[in-house]
Structure 1
Amino acid sequence: MMGHRQVEQAALFYEFSLEKHIPADHLLRSIDRFVDLEEIKRDLAPFYSNIGRPSIDPELMIRMLLIGYCFGIRSERRLCDEVHLNLADRWFCRLSLDGAVPDHSTFSKNRHGRFRQSDLFRRVFECVLRRCIEERLVGGEGFAVDASLIKADANRQKGIEGDKGLSPAAAGRAIDEYLAVLDDAAFGAATEVPPKFVSPSDPAARWTGAHGGQAFFAYSTNYLIDVENAIIIDVEATTAIRQAEVLAAKRMIERSLERFDLYPSRLLGDSGYGSAEMLAWLLYEHGIEPHVTVFDKSARTDGIFSRDDFTYDHTGDVYRCPDGKVLTTTGTLVNDGATMLYLASKRDCDRCALKLRCCPTQASRRMPHSIYEGARDMARQIARSWEGRTSRRLRKKIEMLFAHLKRILKLDRLRLRGPNGARDEFTLAATAQNIRKMAKLIPMPTPRLA
């Protein structure tokens, strides 16, 4: 027999507790343990007036943004709908069942105003990182650095040739931000080479074909991580070229030293960070062992003796060729004072039986020698050791973070434009990754039995 039809009736009184309806193993319940925004609210107080219409609680907006980046919700319109309908989201945001959810336009207004004026997202990131340090998830001995390209919100088909420049009538927030960073070594001043194409909607984004397929406009997100638990120590947004990424690595290392007293004993990195100047900066200025692949293009494939076939004598400050002859230097520096040339005797080269394999088109052999060659030799020695092989394996942890960023958090393309937009998105995504990592590594406390 068919049951009675259910007729909706409005109850006069009801009792409902969000706390009881959130599963004990829900990710938001685990994350909530590590979100403490009281200090940030105090820091934001000077940016709000004491009179006038009450504003939306900044803690509510931060918690909503953390939900969006933790669960890969890229649209703020959709984020508002999710918080409105999802009980777990309401519980995390401290909203009651009838609590009003802010309009999506509120995020944009605050992002371009109070949030950037107070550097809010950086404060949230450092607050979460400080909690990671307190929970002893940061070893502080080995760091790894790397960068990954993220597509900009710019149509590749509407780019204009770089040598033509932007139209004088071009205007907009992204244009203003581009003009503001022209002298920044992480963006406009990173290289004197003009880009092949420039995007009118986001001119700070760099045209790049680094992935081997179709070229596109992109920014670089730079991570400095602790290799013990893959906690992100710092994050920096730069233009998508290697010179800017090396500068970002230096900034992140110095900032971790200054703000958190983190003094790593070694740095792991690929050959993009293996220039002689960078290796010397690590070793001589900060005492950090360079577990970095040396950037070296001295290998030859045409049968001519390469650099490795020559032996450097540290005691006599000379090179010896494969035939045992000596290459000396006058001490003259070239390449802006970064390289010293060692020359063989023309008389030795003329009567040498190996001349055709050494310097067939030159009167004598020349050997460039970096003034930071000691740091390069140390990096090569580390790379051949057991510790170097271990470091190359641990370096994969940072690649896994980039894969998680793009595939799980859906940040394979930016939604905001300009350097500030890229900086905001990268910082919030790194914050979400650290929070999720803490939730994974630190188990929920077992409830006490009555």
Structure 2
Amino acid sequence: MMGPRQEAQAALFYEFSLEEHVPQDHLLRSIDRHLDLSSIRGHLADFYSHTGRPSVDPELMIRMLLVGYCFGIRSERRLCEEVHLNLAYRWFCRLELTDRIPDHSTFSKNRHGRFRDSDLLRHVFEATVARCIEEGLVGGQGFAVDASLISADVQKQNSSNPEGWAAREIDPTDAPRAVREYLDTLDDEAFGAATTAKPKFTAHADPASQWTAARKGPAFFAYSDNYLIDTDHGIIVDVDASRSNKTAEVGAMRKMLDRTEDRFGVKPDWIAADTAYGSSDNLVWLALKRQILPFIPVFDKGERTDGTFSRSDFTWDDENDRYICPSGKEMRHTWRTYSDPARNAPAWKARRYRTRKSDCTGCALKAKCCPNSEVRAIHREKYEIVRDFARQCTASEYNPTAQRRRKKVEMLFAHLKRILGLGRLRLRGPCGVQDEFTLAATAQNLRKLAKLKPMVPATE
């Protein structure tokens, strides 16, 4: 039998509890258990006036932003609508059914003002990392670092040649916010001072973004999202924004390592990365200055692809400061005999090692060694001993384990783009980009906490 028609009737009284309508296994319940925002008011105390109309609760705004980044809601207008309609979001934000949702413009006003001046988003991120350490999810023995390209919110049609753009007279007081931030970062190692190479195009709306074709496809404007993770559970211990070039990404890695040790007292025993971090300067900084084992492939141009012997085919004799070629002949940087042996002692400088002409002339392997020159020469870097040490690390038995754990950072970037929807930036300028990356990393850590340390169901 067909039931009666359902008609909406306005009730005079409701007895409703948000607590009862949010499932016990909801993701936000586990996140809320680990999220501690009690220090926000004290952190922002100096940035609010003691008089005037009461402002929107900063904890409410942070909770709403975290909801947006945890569930891939990028638009703040849509975020306000979703929090208004979704009971679980209201419960997480400590809002009752009759409470009013803040206007979307409140987020922009606070982000460009007191949130950025107080570095509040960094404060929330570090509080989340501290909670991960407290829960035992950060071992501190092994770290991994990598960078991923995120498209900037600009178009090529609104760009020009760097020389033509720089020739324009720009009034900092009248320029857009992203342009002012670009001018402020010209001496920053992660942005303007990262490299002297001039990009092909500069975006007018966001000149700090990098024109790059690193994906082996059509070029586009982008920023690099740099993650430093602990390889035990893939917790992001630091995040930083930079331009999309190797020099800037290496500088971001150094800054993140120093900042992690300064904030949390955590210094890894080893670090894994790809070849982009395998330059001589960076390996020296890691191995000698920071005493960290580098499981990083050496950035080496000594390998040949034309069928002739590469540098790795020659054996280094450290005790006698010489190379031994495949035919057994020795190669020295000088064949002169000094009366004072100290003048020929090994030194920390670049050297060029050569064989004798007589050794190469009648050698049976000359066609495979130096067919186009009289003698074979090998250039040895100033810190080649450090590069050799890095090669020993990557040839060790532990390297496959380190490289397998390094893939966790790539999985985080895939989760960032596919699940959280951060494939293209919404904010512009170095500060806006850093805000987005910091909030996204905080959301990922909170989701990881909720997954690895979920709520224990109450037993009746």
Q: Same-fold call, TM > 0.5?
A: yes
SS of the residue aligned with 2:163?
Answer: coil
| Match in the other structure for 1:122 | 122
Q: How does 1:369-448 map to 2 (within 5 A)?
A: 369-448=380-459
1:140-193 deviation digits (Å, cap 9, x = unpaired):
101000000000001123321223224325721111111111111111111111
Moved more, 373-382 or 314-323: 373-382
| Match in the other structure for 1:85 | 85
Displacement, 1:129? 0.3
Q: Distance in 1 between matches of 2:267 and 2:158?
A: 46
Q: How does 1:5-404 map to 2 (within 5 A)?
A: 6-11=7-12, 13-166=13-166, 167-169=168-170, 171-329=175-333, 339-404=350-415
Q: Distance in 2 between matches of 1:60 and 1:4?
A: 41
1:110-164 deviation digits (Å, cap 9, x = unpaired):
1111011000110000000000000000111010000000000011233212232
Q: Distance in 2 between matches of 1:7 and 1:114?
A: 46
SS of the residue aligned with 1:220?
Answer: strand
1:90-118 deviation digits (Å, cap 9, x = unpaired):
11011111111111011111111101100
In structure 2, relative to structure 1, the CA distance for the partners of 1:327 and 1:5 (3 Å cut) is closer
Q: Distance in 2 between matches of 1:338 and 1:177?
A: 40
In structure 2, relative to structure 1, the CA distance for the partners of 1:3 and 1:303 (3 Å cut) is closer
Displacement, 1:7? 4.7
Displacement, 1:299? 1.3
SS of the residue aligned with 1:190?
Answer: coil
Displacement, 1:202? 0.5
Contact 2:158–2:205 (CA under 8 A) maintained in structure 1: no
The residue type paired with residue 131 of structure 2 is: R
1:259-286 deviation digits (Å, cap 9, x = unpaired):
1111211101111111122112111112
Contact 1:207–1:216 (CA under 8 A) maintained in structure 2: yes
Displacement, 1:14? 2.6
Moved more, 90-99 or 369-378: 369-378
Q: Distance in 2 between matches of 1:281 and 1:85?
A: 52
Displacement, 1:389? 1.2
The residue type paired with residue 46 of structure 1 is: D
1:55-112 deviation digits (Å, cap 9, x = unpaired):
1110000000000000000100000001111111111011111111111011111111
Moved more, 126-135 or 246-255: 246-255
Q: Distance in 1 between matches of 2:264 and 2:3?
A: 68
SS of the residue aligned with 1:150?
Answer: strand
Structure 1 unaligned residues grouped into runs of 5+: none
Displacement, 1:434? 0.1
In structure 2, relative to structure 1, the CA distance for the partners of 1:209 and 1:3 (3 Å cut) is same
The residue type paired with residue 101 of structure 1 is: I
Displacement, 1:338? 6.0
The residue type paired with residue 6 of structure 1 is: E
Moved more, 176-185 or 368-377: 368-377
The residue type paired with residue 168 of structure 1 is: E
Q: Distance in 1 between matches of 2:271 and 2:367?
A: 41
In structure 2, relative to structure 1, the CA distance for the partners of 1:387 and 1:198 (3 Å cut) is same
Structure 2 unaligned residues grouped into runs of 5+: 335-342
Q: Distance in 1 between matches of 2:115 and 2:3?
A: 58
Contact 2:40–2:58 (CA under 8 A) maintained in structure 1: no
Displacement, 1:375? 2.2
Q: Distance in 1 between matches of 2:158 and 2:351?
A: 46
SS of the residue aligned with 1:414?
Answer: coil
Moved more, 288-297 or 145-154: 288-297
The residue type paired with residue 419 of structure 1 is: P
SS of the residue aligned with 2:165?
Answer: coil
Displacement, 1:2? 5.6
In structure 2, relative to structure 1, the CA distance for the partners of 1:350 and 1:77 (3 Å cut) is same
The residue type paired with residue 56 of structure 1 is: V
Contact 1:163–1:196 (CA under 8 A) maintained in structure 2: no
Contact 1:56–1:102 (CA under 8 A) maintained in structure 2: yes
How many residues are paired up? Answer: 444
Displacement, 1:5? 5.6
Q: Distance in 2 between matches of 1:296 and 1:390?
A: 23
Q: CA RMSD in A?
A: 1.7
TM-score normalised to the size of structure 2? 0.93
SS of the residue aligned with 1:38?
Answer: coil
Q: Distance in 2 between matches of 1:5 and 1:186?
A: 62
The residue type paired with residue 135 of structure 1 is: E
Contact 2:24–2:457 (CA under 8 A) maintained in structure 1: no
Moved more, 271-280 or 212-221: 271-280
1:324-379 deviation digits (Å, cap 9, x = unpaired):
222222599xxxx8632223233433443433333333343221112222222222
TM-score normalised to the size of structure 1? 0.95
